[in-house]
Amino acid sequence: MAPIDPSGTRELLEAVVTAFAVLGGSMAYFSGFYAAQALAEHLSPELLAQRVNEGIGEGFVKGVLPAIAALMIVVWS
């Protein structure tokens, strides 16, 4: 079994954290954007919650590829 390189493990962990930060930021942006739209339209709390959930899903879908790209960039640099 090959020895574990602590610096390589740290770099991989930093890359994973970066990827999750990009994905989480995308999800937070879209959920907040959809919430702001729902509040501007004076929707009921139930519809507001639905719009926030839709924003989280939209953010995940749109954030996966940039998160993967960020992971690759950090790992390769």
Distance CA 3, CA 23 (A): 32
Per-residue pLDDT of the chain in tens (77 residues, 90 and over written 9):
556 666 778 888 999 999 999 999 999 999 999 999 999 999 999 999 999 999 999 999 999 999 999 999 998 88
If you ran DSSP here, which 8-state letter would residue 43 be given? -
Q: Where are the domains of the chain?
A: 8-72
Burial of 12 (0-12, 13-18, 19+ CB in 10 A): middle
**Which of 24, 14, 13, 11 has its CA nearest to residue 64?**
24
pTM (two decimals): 0.83
